[in-house]
A = this chain, B = another copy of it.
Amino acid sequence: MSELRLHPDRLFPADTTTRDIARRLYQEIKNLPIVSPHGHTDPQWFADNEPFGNASELLIKPDHYVFRMLYSQGISLASLGIKSRDGSKVEQDPRKIWRTFADNYFLFRGTPSRMWLDYVFKEVFAMEKALTPDTADLYFDTITDSLQQPEFLPRALFEKANIETIATTESPLDDLRHHKKIRESGWKGNVITAFRPDPVVDPEFEGFVENVQRLGEISGEDTSTWSGYLAALRNRRAYFAEHGATSTDHGHATAATADLSPSECEALYAKAIAGECTAQEAELFRAQILTEMAGMSIEDGLVMQIHPGCFRNHNAEVYRQFGRDKGADIPVQTEYVRALKPLLDKYGNDTRLSIILFTLDETVYSRELAPLAGHYPTLKLGPAWWFHDSPEGMRRFREQMTETGGFYNSVGFNDDTRAFLSIPARHDVARRMDCGFLARLVAEHRIHEDEAQALAVDLTYNLVKQAYKL
């Protein structure tokens, strides 16, 4: 085990007939460029092109997949150097943090993190031995040293990864200065933004009232009225579109939509900006916003992404001490059929609109999402997401979605990550799993191999470009 190997057949089904087909399919798509239409990389990396810090800074601290697993086994976040909000002391020595990680790397057996990390270790840093307590320092030094080399600067890594387009995600209040800087730099890497309006459309978002005020200032619209607020949102959408955005992104707690009368909207909005919404009213406001956003998408052509169903910051103590995005977001049951009806009643048959649905609740794959996407011209199926961005998760997605939803109502792969180096690893997992699934259909004589070949290219490249208008 001490050798670090990425087997060329990894993730392909063991059956030899099926594996041979999967290999042939994969051969034709493995080098296609990466299109990453939904993610959370930091545009400043590409704007400033400064070296990443050390191994722990790059690979542990920003990766909530990594520290959630360590934390679940009793390893404190402080010992991993996660910055505290309350000023309590946390480990400062990156080497010590890395050793803790190496000591516990066996915990990741069978998880996608393990596959992604090994890919990064081998493909990016050319490590030859597996990560164990014994090789902890070798890893730390090799990675940390490498990061200072020119070929490990963000833009170089971007190019090496064969990324055709990557989307980041910004708030409407963002001035997109990094995106501007990238464009003005003359660098040809295509880094675009996506419009993520939570801070200004969710009455329960921290600072909502002030955020809406700033939205008014930035846009030059009068956000004291509902119509002025809508105008401000339109204004920012246009600004984002100018900076490359082709999509919006909506991460509400539920998939609820609403279609209120203008006067109801005005009354609800007045409460919202007065900071006086009840929880139920806040939910209704978000629901109405989704329908408004759909209407604006018909006007400006931005593709709409809806990914609901997460109980954010479930661990009160961890949130208090360390803040958001610390591995304590937990999925909950999520309903779509009744929730989306108000929006669909209004816009569901308008072929100018394109909505991509995501879920953390796999029970809706075959019951709700595939039937909805297999009927409504406006609906498409986002890939297996977050906790389900994994080999088994992807397999369940294809097995449960395809027969009713069809391949062509899916939109290819999203990596959805801020772990930049893992992006090629994640896309590679998705490509392999798709080839394995297609190979099974071929081996079972359900589709022909030439169809599978065409599908492999579509699922990897064409569908994402079409769906996100890239």
- B-chain residues with CB within 8 Å of residue A374 when the two chains form the complex: 68-69, 72, 327
| A84-92, A104-112, A173-181, A191-199 - interface stretch | A104-112
Q: A218 within 8 Å of B by Cβ?
A: no
Contact in complex: B69, A402 (CB < 8 Å): no
Contact in complex: B10, A327 (CB < 8 Å): no
- B-chain residues with CB within 8 Å of residue A376 when the two chains form the complex: 72, 315
For A1-26 the 0/1 string (1 means CB < 8 A from B) is 10001010111111111100000000
Q: A349 within 8 Å of B by Cβ?
A: yes
For A439-459 the 0/1 string (1 means CB < 8 A from B) is 011011111101100110000
Q: A406 within 8 Å of B by Cβ?
A: yes
Contact in complex: B315, A1 (CB < 8 Å): no
Contact in complex: A330, B371 (CB < 8 Å): yes
Q: A184 within 8 Å of B by Cβ?
A: no
Of B316, B338, B371, which is within 8 A of A387 by CB?
B371
For the complex, what is the distance from the CA of A102 to the CA of B349, rounded to whole Å? 23
For A155-194 the 0/1 string (1 means CB < 8 A from B) is 0000000000000000000000000000000000000000
For the complex, what is the distance from the CA of A366 to the CA of B335, rounded to whole Å? 17
- B-chain residues with CB within 8 Å of residue A375 when the two chains form the complex: 68, 71-72, 314-315, 327-328, 330
Contact in complex: A403, B392 (CB < 8 Å): yes
- B-chain residues with CB within 8 Å of residue A368 when the two chains form the complex: 330-332
- B-chain residues with CB within 8 Å of residue A455 when the two chains form the complex: 109-110
Smallest Cβ-Cβ distance to A363: which chain B residue? B363
Interface residues of A in 100-129 (CB under 8 A from B): 106-112, 114-115
Interface residues of A in 420-470 (CB under 8 A from B): 440-441, 443-448, 450-451, 454-455
- B-chain residues with CB within 8 Å of residue A373 when the two chains form the complex: 72
| Distance (whole angstroms) from the CB of A101 to the closest CB of chain B | 14
| Distance (whole angstroms) from the CB of A2 to the closest CB of chain B | 10
Contact in complex: B333, A335 (CB < 8 Å): yes
Of B17, B316, B338, B349, which is within 8 A of A317 by CB?
B349
Contact in complex: A400, B404 (CB < 8 Å): no
Q: A63 within 8 Å of B by Cβ?
A: no
- B-chain residues with CB within 8 Å of residue A360 when the two chains form the complex: 367
Of B110, B344, B361, B440, which is within 8 A of A407 by CB?
B110
Contact in complex: A409, B73 (CB < 8 Å): yes
Of B10, B314, B349, B372, which is within 8 A of A446 by CB?
B10
Interface residues of A in 334-359 (CB under 8 A from B): 335, 337-338, 341, 344-345, 348-349, 351
Can you report 6 A-B residue pairs in the complex whose CB atoms are below 8 A from each other? A109-B406, A311-B337, A314-B372, A316-B345, A332-B338, A392-B403
